[in-house]
Amino acid sequence: MHNPSWARGLYAITDAALLPDDPRLLAGCEAALRGGLALLQYRDKSTQADKRLRQARALAALCRDYDVPLIINDDTALAERLRREGHANVGLHLGQGDGALAEARERLGPEAILGATCHGRLALAERAAREGASYVAFGRFFASRTKPEAPPATLDLLGEAEAIGLPRVAIGGIDAETIGAARRAGADLLATVAAVFAAADIEASVRDLNRRLSAC
């Protein structure tokens, strides 16, 4: 399989508690982008549509400057709107309860990056691949302060999922201590919230995580 350029490396996910306003969101994400990201995800579980549109728009423009795709969490309509506005670097991540992948693929077009949560289940990843996913995400592999209730998964799954032929994301408790084990188990993309956005120095933390990945 020839992976596209976005499909290997660090995948940072924003958190509205850690990045509580526009200046901190944009400064935090720019620091992470300077450190070197493969993907950035905008994850805001609020129902404030105006805020979500404003912030996602600003992040899409910022990510374009760094040639990094911006993935919108949960919200197909928001991703579709941004793409219609000309933000061709915008993609979407859907969980099991977030709407149909096939419909999202239809609405966003063949070029958009479309990610799917598959928890600890290979069968969900096989189905996501059939429905048009660009990557499959497994987790939670380690203890997570951001989402402690996420269902657990075992690292063996990452190797088993190679046959699906899509980039594999590992999520849940990925940090400086765990990132190597997840990469060695087969993860192409290492997704994290806290190890990036709870760090005192976001750029330095991203550089450190990338160094650890390079060493695997």
Ligand X SMILES: Cc1nc(C(=O)O)sc1CCOP(=O)(O)O
Ligand Y SMILES: Cc1ncc(COP(=O)(O)OP(=O)(O)O)c(N)n1
In the annotated binding site, the residues are 41-45, 73-74, 98, 117, 144-147, 173
Binding partner of residue 115 among Mg ion, ligand X, ligand Y, none, CB cut-off 5 to 8 Å per kind:
ligand Y
Q: Which is nearer to ligand X, 145 or 211 (CB)?
A: 145
| Residue that has been written with the tokens 């059939």 in this structure | 130
The residue within the footprint of ligand Y, chosen from 83, 93, 168, 183 (CB under 6 A), is: 93
Segment lying near ligand Y (by CB under 6 A), choices 53-61, 76-84, 93-101, 104-112:
93-101
Give, as ranges, the residues between 43 and 82 that touch ligand Y (CB under 6 A). Answer: 43, 73-74
Binding partner of residue 172 among ligand Y, ligand X, Mg ion, none, CB cut-off 5 to 8 Å per kind:
ligand X
Rounded CA separation 120/72 (Å): 22
The reply on whether position 44 binds Mg ion by CB under 5 A is no
The reply on whether position 36 binds Mg ion by CB under 5 A is no
117: nearest Cα among 8, 20, 13:
13
Q: How far is the CB of 191 from ligand Y (least distance, A)?
A: 4
Residue numbering of the annotated binding site for Mg(2+): 74, 98
The reply on whether position 99 binds Mg ion by CB under 5 A is no
Binding partner of residue 169 among Mg ion, ligand X, ligand Y, none, CB cut-off 5 to 8 Å per kind:
ligand Y
Q: Which is nearer to ligand X, 86 or 159 (CB)?
A: 159
Neighbours of 147 (CB within 10 A): 15
Q: How far is the CB of 86 from ligand Y (least distance, A)?
A: 25
Rounded CA separation 17/44 (Å): 9
Task: Name all contacts of 145-154 with Cβ < 8 Å and 24+ positions apart.
Answer: 145/194, 145/198, 146/15, 146/193, 146/194, 147/172, 150/119, 151/119, 151/120, 152/120, 153/119, 153/120, 154/120
Q: Which is nearer to ligand X, 69 or 139 (CB)?
A: 139
Rounded CA separation 56/91 (Å): 11
| Residue that has been written with the tokens 């192409």 in this structure | 188
Residue ranges that bind ligand Y, judged by CB under 6 A? 11, 13, 41, 43, 73-74, 93, 95, 98, 115, 117, 137, 169, 171, 191
Residue ranges that bind Mg ion, judged by CB under 5 A? 74, 95, 98
